[in-house]
Structure 1
């Protein structure tokens, strides 16, 4: 019990120290600038303004949600079964005992040790004992972030924007029991810069015990649970027990670690310039003949283009913008 108490004290001291470092590096100041300086555009036909969700409930009910499974699942990796299962079943190989879906599953697995390389006490301490070493990213006129240490990593959503707009059914930072570690991880959202969560309804948007699709930006369920990814061996406990998005939060705050190349590589394969989900979503726009970016489909009469794919990309800190869609219509890339 004393050891657990000591760890809690050390954790709070580490969070406080990191907060001071983030302040000195300008991360908090830049986050506030990003939040305060986003332009408010006049509404246009078939195009909606992106909205930052705070304590407000969803503006509409969805027939799609009413018919969907209530099973709590969370998007955490490239294998979003809600999208690929049907598509891959059609391409099943005629050869006995083989299938295209099985091949794709094997191709996209991360091969890694299934257990951490540190003892539990050292491991827990390492999650908060890191210090920021990189400057805040810059953001260009099209909203794309640029990190000097990783020029090929170019998301266009900050962690704060992903959280405020609605992601992971409001449950990403819920208390999480790790079967690999035999402990429950909780309250780690507190390490986020205060500006990211100011006026945000934490129990609704971060720590909800149940997955609520209507809390997502596109009001749909997608992906698998963190527990399922842990069971598959795809969580690197040495760094981020909750997976890719937790890595992104810490990377954005200035942490650099040995897992960065792997995580940036996963992002590129999912939503980078030639990423799988990005290309599939843009192809759907073209095949549907839609030239205007669809937001969350709340506007009456607006045609929806794969809300599940949109939500998946959003979880990976990427949103289709009008510039991206226009370029794809022109070049197919």
Structure 2
């Protein structure tokens, strides 16, 4: 044995003897204040649960965010189709809006029929766009008569309508429309059908929500138009002006105005399919109708259809 090994063994024996002398032989490997732990003792149920449990839900912040928004245009197109679920109840904010509950039915009915025209019918330019001098930013290119005669709302827009908000049935209000708009028209098929008939629509497809759903969503201002957007448009065309004009025009802009969602979706689909020419002569070979009929019909309900100047501009600039 080398001299180094001899010294090392001597030091080990000396240290071991010192440990035994001090009584530290069982505690050298743990803190002095630690309690001895039984080999058979199991961790407490609480501690075991903390170690073994798996997360079962997201944080409150994530959970409150709802589902993630979808920017897929096919999903947006499907969103325009009729919904089968029950309409949601108005939120507190919607319930706080001016409502028909502040008026009695007699006052409401008088307001719907006693208005007087304040403006002339709009002019129409060479591109087919209408212009209202009182509201130059409102530029539809379909008249109410065209929308009705070409087929819209499944032929059921003017059907007898029970309003939950008013607790009464509204009917025959289509008779306030100018006689020329409905002359020779099958009223029961194009206006007052008790059920939605997609075959009546210009593009032969169903789209949109029912008036009952619009009412439940808080979009109806009963003191002005109990049937909503299109009834407002008819009366606006006929010269009525009312406090709800700005709201309805704002909705139109968001849907089919220059930067409107449905308008842009439709024009983009033309480009995707490769169509550069719009045929709108009413013939059966109208190829434009083959481009997303649901979005076409949605835009039609909002008094807009694709015209050549808009399509040319979108091909050139994407706007």
- The verdict on a shared fold, with TM-score over 0.5 as the criterion, is yes
Give the whole-Å Cα distance in 1 for the aligned partners of 2:298 and 2:180.
25
How far does residue 299 in structure 1 lie from its aligned partner after superposition? 2.6
Instruction: Work out the CA distance in 2 between the residues paired with 1:237 and 1:162.
Output: 23
**Alignment check: 8 A CA contact 2:279 2:286 kept:** no
Separation in structure 2 between the aligned mates of residue 129 and residue 214 of structure 1, nearest angstrom: 35
Aligned to 1:25: none
2:227 paired residue number: 242
- In structure 2, the residue matched to 1:326 is 312
Q: 1:282 aligns with which of 267, 276, 295?
A: 267
Look up the match of 1:216. 201
Shift of 1:128: 0.4
The alignment status of 1:187 with 2:156, answered yes or no, reads no
Relative to the length of structure 2, the TM-score reads 0.69
Aligned-pair CA distance for 1:102: 9.6
Indicate conservation of the 8 Å contact 1:294/1:305, yes or no. no
Measured in 2, the distance between the counterparts of 1:236 and 1:331 equals 38
In structure 2, distance between residues paired with 1:303 and 1:177: 34
Q: Write the deviation string for residues 286-311 of structure 1: whole angstroms up to 9, x where unpaired.
A: 11212122658943988821100000
The answer to whether the Cα contact below 8 Å between 2:289 and 2:296 also exists between their aligned partners in 1 is no
Contact 1:297/1:303 (<8 A) preserved: no
What CA distance in whole angstroms lies between the structure 2 residues aligned with 1:282 and 1:332? 9
Q: Find out whether 1:205 has 2:222 as its counterpart.
A: no
The question of whether the paired residues in 2 share the 8 Å contact of 1:218 and 1:297 is answered with no
Q: TM-score normalized by structure 1?
A: 0.67
Matched, 1:113 2:87: no
Superposed CA offset, 1:72-125 (max 9, x none): xxxxxxxxxxxxxxxxxxxxxx944423449999xxx99452731322110111
Provide the secondary structure at the position in 2 that maps to 1:177: strand
CA distance in 2, matches of 1:236, 1:200: 29
SS of the residue 1:210 aligns to: coil
Quote the offset at 1:229 in angstroms. 1.0
SS, match of residue 263 in structure 1: helix
Q: Tell me the SS of whatever aligns to 2:169.
A: strand
Q: How does 1:231-270 map to 2 (within 5 A)?
A: 231-270=216-255
| Mean CA deviation greater in 283-292 or 245-254 | 283-292
In the alignment, structure 2 segments of 5+ residues that lack a partner are 1-60, 80-90
Find the residue that maps to 1:208 and give its secondary structure: coil
Partner in structure 2 of residue 307 of structure 1 = 293
Partner residue of 1:135?
A: 120
User: Which of residues 237, 252, 271 is equivalent to 2:256?
Assistant: 271
1:248/1:300 CA distance change after superposition, 3 Å? closer
Ranges in structure 1 where 5+ consecutive residues have no aligned partner:
1-93
| RMSD between superposed Cα atoms in Å | 2.6
4+ long deviations beyond 3 Å: 94-97, 100-105, 109-112, 294-298, 300-303
Query: Matched residues in 2 for 1:327 and 1:300: separation?
Result: 21
CA-to-aligned-CA distance 1:36-55 (integer Å, 9 cap, x gap): xxxxxxxxxxxxxxxxxxxx
Equivalent position of 2:107 in the other structure? 122
Q: Distance in 2 between matches of 1:319 and 1:301?
A: 14
Superposed, which structure 2 residues align to 1:93-112 within 5 Å?
95-98=62-65, 99-101=67-69, 111=94
Per-residue CA deviation, residues 303-322 of structure 1 (Å, 9 max, x unaligned), is 82110000000000000012
- Evaluate the alpha carbon distance shift between residue 133 and residue 119 of structure 1 in structure 2; reply closer, same or farther with a 3 A threshold: same
Higher relative contact order (CA 8 A, sep 6+): 1
